[in-house]
């Protein structure tokens, strides 16, 4: 627990956070990090858009109240009214402020429908970003640091530096920008610049302009005091043309301010000893019997032959090129020539959904596919599978490989991003048995994926080696507490930088 002298006032701004809204890993990170920072003794406020329609049927949410706060922002010449609801993050003392604006946020999805982004996304999230600072001002939150996440909140850093810097309530407020996925940058045509509330002079190649467009992620990076991303390897990768998506020059220039912090997992949710989704919870000491029962349950649920001896490989993922589904479908015939079973859960590209359904029809005793998302089934796959597949083309951090390690399910992953940082390759019994936690391949190749799976299957037939790899993974600390301490160190750097540079 931090002493009062060390306590920080932290505002985390994000476009989604569990349990209020979610499309991907950002939501898990925002919610879990806020919770862990609160447990460390810091004063944490989490700010989110209020997606009223999407939370109406969520019975797990805590009671939500109206703060009574009202504000108005000029958005491209018209006054737009906003309100603020509040609640707390479940089982914490973390405040949650929900920015209420029905025109912008009462929609059926967060960012898009039918595969197309909302045409007013720039306006929606410029309003949200500007609202965050207005709420801080009116509620006198006086944050020591504002932590922004992805393009939807990048504008906050620009406004903080150019308009709020040194003003009452923001005298020494540092800013941190976290990059969760460089492929999504918030690029809009330049005539949207007035929506930002910032002067046109900032629309230049060093700050807000990229290739003729307004770029909100670049804005966040250019004006932030400190920059983080979600794994050390990804921090290096985004400074290269392959993964920088056009911003590698700016990121390389700011390399001294960029740090990779590996995400953690929420042990209250992902814990094989207490997981209520499992047929039989288990610990590192009971993993052999526990996983055997969880495997049998998963085989029954997915209508596969109940064979305790057959290696069962699982995958829970968005079905997209990024996640390596072209490798999986390309190598499917070779993989399925082995004695194994495959279970897939997810949704995404209709092409891959169709190809996996076809495999399940052709190999009904070996392949089971569930299109959609089922939280309970996701937990049961992590517990019931022997191995977990993540052959990603790119993976900033990844969480499923950590869930797998926590549940004694051996990951088969590509050496990229957070996968490279969290899974240690098994080389041989003499070289790496005491430290190995999975099987890792480098080149993006269907042949190499198949070879790595075949190698893993061979080791699976050697129980004394396999059980040691399982125990190695289950022994690692994947909690958010570790990551939260690293974020606090970054926050302090941001605050010190702001103190040096503020008037």
Mean pLDDT of the chain: 95
For the cut 60, the answer to whether the pLDDT of residue 315 exceeds it is yes
- The correct CATH number of 4-264+481-501 out of 3.30.200.20, 3.40.50.2000, 3.40.50.300, 1.10.300.10 is 3.40.50.2000
Convert the pLDDT of each residue in 334-346 to its tens digit.
Answer: 999 999 999 999 9
- pLDDT tier at 503 (50, 70, 90 boundaries)? low
Per cent of the chain over pLDDT 90 is: 87
Against a cut of 0.85, is the pTM above it?
A: yes
For the cut 90, the answer to whether the pLDDT of residue 113 exceeds it is no
Convert the pLDDT of each residue in 74-85 to its tens digit.
Answer: 998 999 999 999
| Segment holding 259, helix H or strand E | strand 258-260
Convert the pLDDT of each residue in 208-237 to its tens digit.
Answer: 999 999 999 999 999 999 999 999 999 999
- Report the alpha-carbon distance of residue 65 to residue 68 in Å, rounded: 9
For the cut 90, the answer to whether the pLDDT of residue 249 exceeds it is yes
- pLDDT tier at 250 (50, 70, 90 boundaries)? very high
- Report the alpha-carbon distance of residue 100 to residue 139 in Å, rounded: 16
Convert the pLDDT of each residue in 181-195 to its tens digit.
Answer: 999 999 999 999 999
Strands 78-88 and 95-100, bridge-based pairing: antiparallel
Convert the pLDDT of each residue in 442-477 to its tens digit.
Answer: 999 999 999 999 999 999 999 999 999 999 999 999
pLDDT for the residue numbered 23: 85
Residue 321: φ, ψ to 5°? -55, -40
Which of 281, 470, 268 lies closest to 383, judged by CA? 281
- Report the alpha-carbon distance of residue 260 to residue 399 in Å, rounded: 15
Per cent of the chain over pLDDT 70 is: 99
Strand order in the sheet with 387-390: 367-371, 341-346, 312-316, 387-390, 410-414, 439-441
- Report the alpha-carbon distance of residue 233 to residue 242 in Å, rounded: 13
Q: What is the mean pLDDT of residues 355-365?
A: 97
For the cut 70, the answer to whether the pLDDT of residue 4 exceeds it is no
Q: What is the mean pLDDT of residues 159-186?
A: 93
Q: Please tell me the least confidently modeled range out of 71-80, 141-150, 159-168.
A: 159-168
For the cut 80, the answer to whether the pLDDT of residue 109 exceeds it is yes
What superfamily does domain 287-477 belong to in CATH? Glycogen Phosphorylase B; (3.40.50.2000)
Domain boundaries, the chain: 4-264+481-501, 287-477
4-264+481-501 shares its CATH topology with 287-477:
yes
For the cut 70, the answer to whether the pLDDT of residue 3 exceeds it is no
Token digits for 280?
């039989």
Residue with tokens 């993964």, as numbered in its chain: 243
Of 431 and 397, the structure prediction assigns the larger pLDDT to 397
Token digits for 438?
């999975």
Total Cβ atoms within 10 A of residue 151: 29
Token digits for 342?
């495959």
pLDDT for the residue numbered 2: 43
- pLDDT tier at 115 (50, 70, 90 boundaries)? confident
């Amino acid at each position: 627990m931090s002493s009062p002298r060390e306590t920080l006032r932290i505002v985390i701004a994000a476009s989604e956070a569990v349990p209020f809204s979610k499309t991907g890993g950002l939501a898990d990170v925002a919610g879990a990090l806020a919770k862990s920072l609160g447990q460390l003794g810091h004063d944490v406020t989490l700010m989110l858009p209020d997606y009223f329609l999407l939370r109406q049927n969520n019975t797990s949410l805590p009671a939500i109240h109206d703060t009574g706060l009202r504000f108005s922002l000029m958005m491209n010449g018209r006054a737009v009214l906003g309100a603020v609801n509040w609640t707390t993050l479940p089982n914490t003392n973390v405040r949650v402020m929900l920015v209420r604006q029905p025109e912008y946020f009462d929609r059926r999805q967060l960012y898009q429908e039918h595969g197309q982004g909302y045409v007013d996304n720039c306006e929606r999230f410029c309003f949200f970003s500007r609202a965050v600072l207005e709420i801080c001002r009116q509620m006198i939150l006086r944050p020591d640091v504002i932590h922004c996440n992805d393009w939807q909140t990048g504008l906050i850093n620009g406004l903080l530096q150019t308009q709020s810097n040194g003003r009452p309530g923001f005298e020494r407020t540092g800013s941190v920008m976290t990059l969760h996925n460089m492929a999504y940058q918030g690029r809009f045509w330049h005539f949207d610049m007035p929506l930002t509330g910032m002067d046109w002079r900032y629309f230049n190649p060093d700050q807000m302009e990229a290739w003729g467009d307004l770029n909100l992620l670049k804005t966040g990076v250019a004006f932030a005091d400190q920059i983080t991303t979600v794994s050390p390897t990804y921090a290096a990768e985004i400074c290269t043309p392959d993964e920088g998506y056009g911003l590698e020059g700016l990121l390389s220039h700011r390399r001294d301010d960029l740090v990779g912090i590996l995400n953690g997992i929420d042990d209250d949710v992902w814990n094989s000893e207490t997981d209520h989704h499992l047929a039989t919870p288990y610990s590192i000491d009971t993993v052999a019997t526990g996983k055997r029962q969880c495997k049998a349950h998963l085989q029954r649920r997915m209508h596969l032959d109940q064979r305790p001896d057959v290696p069962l490989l699982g995958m829970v993922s968005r079905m997209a090129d990024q996640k390596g589904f072209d490798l999986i479908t390309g190598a499917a015939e070779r993989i399925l020539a082995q004695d194994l079973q495959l279970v897939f859960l997810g949704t995404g590209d209709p092409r891959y959904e169709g190809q996996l359904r076809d495999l399940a029809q052709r190999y009904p005793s070996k392949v089971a596919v569930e299109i959609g998302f089922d939280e309970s089934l996701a937990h049961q796959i992590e517990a019931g599978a022997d191995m977990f597949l993540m052959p990603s083309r790119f993976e900033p951090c990844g969480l499923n490989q950590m869930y797998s390690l926590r549940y004694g399910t051996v990951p088969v992953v590509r050496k990229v991003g957070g996968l490279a940082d969290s899974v240690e390759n098994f080389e041989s019994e003499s070289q790496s048995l005491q430290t190995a936690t999975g099987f890792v391949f480098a080149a993006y190749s269907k042949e190499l994926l198949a070879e790595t799976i075949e190698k893993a299957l061979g080791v699976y037939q050697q129980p004394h080696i396999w059980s040691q790899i399982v125990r190695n993974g289950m022994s690692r600390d994947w909690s958010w507490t570790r990551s939260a301490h690293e974020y606090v160190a970054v926050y302090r750097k941001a605050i010190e930088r702001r103190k040096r540079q503020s008037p």
